[in-house]
Structure 1
Amino acid sequence: MGQNSNIDFLKDEEKLKLIAAIEQAAVTIIMTDIDGNIQYCNPAFEQISGYSLKEVIGKNPRILKSGLTHSNVFEDMWNTITKGKDWKGDLINKKKDGTIYYEEARITPITDSNGKIVNFLGVKQDVSRRKYLEEKLKQTSIRDSLTNIYNRGYAFERLGQSIELFKKKEENFSLALVDIDFFKNINDTYGHQAGDFVLKEFAEILASSIRTYDVLGRYGGEEFILILQGIGKSSSVKVIKRVSERIKESLFNYEDKKVEITFSCGIVDASEIGKETISLQNMIYEADRRLYEAKNTGRNKIIVD
C-alpha cells in the first residue's frame, strides 16, 4: 500500500532525528518523482553506487542498469508501484566504475493527503556478498572436487533437462560416455597422485574441446559424461575424434615421466531412442552398453551403435 507523507506533522526535533537516520542508514535510500527521476539519495547510495547526489539528481535510476536484470522485472515493478502498491524484488545493477552488484529492493509509492501518488521511495540492500557465497556453495555442490567439472548428480540433472527439451521440441542431442583405458595400470605404475594428475589433465582437454553450452561431468572414477547439445551421433564422433587427436598430441608428464593414455567411448543420440520412449535411464544404458562394447573389443575406439 502507498504511504501517506506525514512528515509535516512531526516536530522539528523528530524531523532531525528522521533525517539523521536516513543519512546514516547502511541501506540505500532514494526518492524519485512520479516519473521516476531521482530527487534524493542518501550517503549509502553514493558509497555503494559510486555516484554522488549531484550526479544523479534528475536522472532515472536506470543509470544503474546492468542489462542483467530481465526486462520483465522492471515492467512488473513499474506496473505495481504505479497502482499504489509496494514492490519487492532482486536487481542486478552496475556501479559507476562498471562493477556488478546485487540488491534486494523495496519500492513504495508515497501519497499525499488525497491519496495521489507524489513520490516513489526505494530502499535497497547490497546483497552481493551473500550472492557470491550462495553461488560458491552451489558450485561446490555441483562440481567434482578433483577435476572441477560437473559432478555426476548435476550432469544427470542437465541430462534430464535435455531429455525434456527433446520431448517438447525434438531438439536432438548426443550423450557420450568416455572411459580412460587401463587407468588402474596408471595408478599401479606411477601412483595415485599421477592418476589424479591424468584425470585433471584429461578433463581439461575434454572441457576445451566442447562448446560452452555443452555439458561435461565426471561420471565416476576414470569415466566421464558429455552431453553434446543440438547434434547427432555423426557430429559427436567428430568431437570425440578431435579429443583423441589432442590426447595423442599431449604429453602427460608427471614428475618427468611420460604417461601415455587412450580412451574408449560410447555414443547415443536422442533421435534414435525417440521421444515416446526416451528416458534418462535408457539413454545412460545405451551409451554405457556401447562404451563397454568398445572396451571389450580392443579399447581405444568409439562405438555408436
Structure 2
Amino acid sequence: MSEVSLKKQPSVLIIEDEPGDAELIRLQLLERDAKAFEVHLATSLSDAKRVMHNEGLKPDVILLDLNLPDSTGTDTVCRCRELAPDVPLVVLTGLDDHAATEMAIEAGAEDYLSKGEDASSLRKAIRYSLLRHERDASERLAMTVFNYAREGIMITSAQGIILEVNDSFTRITGYSREEAVGNSPSLLSSGHHTPQFYEEFWVTLFEKGHWEGEIWNRRKSGEIFVENMTVSAVRDPSGEIIQFVALFTDVTEQKELQTQLEHLAHFDALTDLPNRVLFNYRLNQSTAYADRHGTRIAVAYLDLDGFKPVNDTHGHAAGDVVLQEVAKRMQACLRDEDTLARLGGDEFSLVLESVQVPEQLGGLLDRLLEAVRKPVIWEGHELKVTASIGVSFYPQSPSIEIPELLHQADEAMYQAKEKGKNCYAFHPCVGFNKAAV
C-alpha cells in the first residue's frame, strides 16, 4: 500500500485569493474532525510557490481557484501543474461554468468542485481525487516513460494501423504524431526489404508474440536510416492480439562507423585498394576455386622503380599522389574478377583469374608497365617511376602451398629488377618454363 493510502491526515493546499472563500473551505474540511486534514492556504500561484519551495510544503492535493491575481483560466492549471507535477488538482469553479470546467480537466486537473458545494461533497472530492491519483500512478509512470524514452515508440492496432507514437518517433522519422496516427507503418517503407522479409516478420510475430531485428526505413525527408527494432504483441485476457508495440533506435551512424571500420580493416587507406589481409583472403578463395574447377591463376608482385627518389626529392605528399595515381591506372587495366592490392610502401600484388598459358598475360602486363611509367604531374613537376613485375602460377605439379607461391612471385620480381627494371619476369615453375621477358 502506498504512502498516501497510509497517511491519516492528508495535506491540502488551498490556493484561493478570496479570504472568505478560503476560510469557508478550511472550516468545511475540518468540521467533523479537526485532524482530518492538514490545511494550508495560499492567495496566488507565486504565494503557493513560496509555501512549497521555501517552506518545504509537499501537499497531497491542491484545491485551485482558476482566477487568481497572477493567473486566470486554464493557464492557472498549466502553471500549477508545472509547480506540482505529481499532485492531484481539484479546481474550484463557478456553479454554471461548464466550459471552464472541461478546459481545466483537459489541462490536467483530476476533478472539479463548484464553489458553494456542501462540506460532505468537498471532503468526498478530496478523498476521491487522492484515490484516483494513487490508482493512476502506474499509468502516469508509463506515460512518462512513453514521452521521455529516447527510443521511438509506435503502437498499432492488430490490423496494423498506427494508434500512437511518442516524441522520439517524430525526432527519428520526421513524421509528426498527426501525420503518423491513422496511417500504416508502411509510411516508413524504404523498399530495401523483400516481400519474403515481411512475410517472415509477420509469421514470427504471430507465432512467438515478438520480433527483434534490423530494419531499413525512410524518413519523411527521404533519407534512408537503419533501426534496431523490437515488436511485441499485446493480447487481451482471451489471448487475442489487440495491439502491437514497436520500440526502435536509430543505429545509422553506428552502421556507417562499422562499415568504415570494416573497410579500413580490408582496404588501404591511401589508395583504397585491398590491403594484405583482403589480398590473402581473395588469394585463398581463388586457389580453392582453381582446385575445384581445374582452372589456373597467376599471382604477381609489383614493385615501383625510382619511387624513393621521388619521395626524397619532392616529399611524401608527392609520393602519395604518385601511389594514388598509379594505383588508379593499374586498376583500370584489370578485369572485375582480378585483384590488385597494395601491400605497403610501393609494393603491390595481383591475383589474375583464369590464366591458361603465360602468353595470355603479355598484353596485360605490358599495359600495367605502361600505366606505371606514364608521368604523374604534381605541382608542375613530372614525377616518373617504372615497375618491376614478378609472376608465378597456380596450381603446379607437384602441388605448392600459398606461401611458396608468393615467394616464387617475389623471386621473379627481383629477376625483373636484375634485368634492368621496367619489365616483368615469370618464375620458372614446373609446367610454365618460360624464360624471363
Shorter-normalised TM range: 0.7 to 0.9
Q: Structure 1 161/94 Cα, relative in aligned 2: closer, same or farther at 3 Å?
A: farther
Aligned to 1:4: none
How far 1:126 sits from its partner (Å)? 0.6
1:40 aligns to 2:129 (yes or no): no
Aligned to 1:285: 407
How far 1:123 sits from its partner (Å)? 0.7
Aligned to 1:143: 267
Match for residue 153 of structure 2 among 15, 26, 29: 29
Length, aligned pairs only: 293
Q: Structure 1 291/45 Cα, relative in aligned 2: closer, same or farther at 3 Å?
A: same
Give % identity: 30
Whether the 8 Å CA contact 1:91–1:103 is kept in 2: the answer is yes
Provide the secondary structure at the position in 2 that maps to 1:154: helix
Q: Structure 1 186/85 Cα, relative in aligned 2: closer, same or farther at 3 Å?
A: same
Match for residue 189 of structure 2 among 60, 65, 71: 65
The superposition leaves residues 94-143 of structure 1 with CA deviations (integer Å, 9 ceiling, x where unpaired) of 22322121211111121111122222221111112222222333333333
Aligned to 1:96: 220
Aligned to 2:240: 116
Structure 1 alignment gaps of length 5 or more = 1-9
How far 1:212 sits from its partner (Å)? 6.1
Match for residue 349 of structure 2 among 215, 220, 225: 225
Whether the 8 Å CA contact 1:84–1:117 is kept in 2: the answer is no
How far 1:166 sits from its partner (Å)? 4.6
Match for residue 159 of structure 1 among 277, 280, 283: 283
How far 1:47 sits from its partner (Å)? 2.2
Aligned to 1:180: 304
Q: Structure 1 268/107 Cα, relative in aligned 2: closer, same or farther at 3 Å?
A: farther
Aligned to 1:264: 388
Aligned to 1:294: 416
Answer with 1 or 2: which has the greater Rg.
2
Provide the secondary structure at the position in 1 that maps to 2:273: coil
Distance in structure 2 (CA, Å) of the matches to 1:170 and 1:52: 61
TM-score normalised by structure 1 residue count? 0.76
| Higher RCO (Cα < 8 Å, 6 or more apart) | 1
Give the RMSD, CA atoms, in angstroms.
3.5
Alignment of 1:199-218 (within 5 A): 199-210=323-334, 214-218=338-342
Whether the 8 Å CA contact 2:306–2:384 is kept in 1: the answer is no
The superposition leaves residues 188-238 of structure 1 with CA deviations (integer Å, 9 ceiling, x where unpaired) of 555555434322322232344446665432123211123456676777655
1:87 aligns to 2:211 (yes or no): yes
Q: Structure 1 293/58 Cα, relative in aligned 2: closer, same or farther at 3 Å?
A: farther
Q: Structure 1 48/168 Cα, relative in aligned 2: closer, same or farther at 3 Å?
A: farther
How far 1:268 sits from its partner (Å)? 4.8
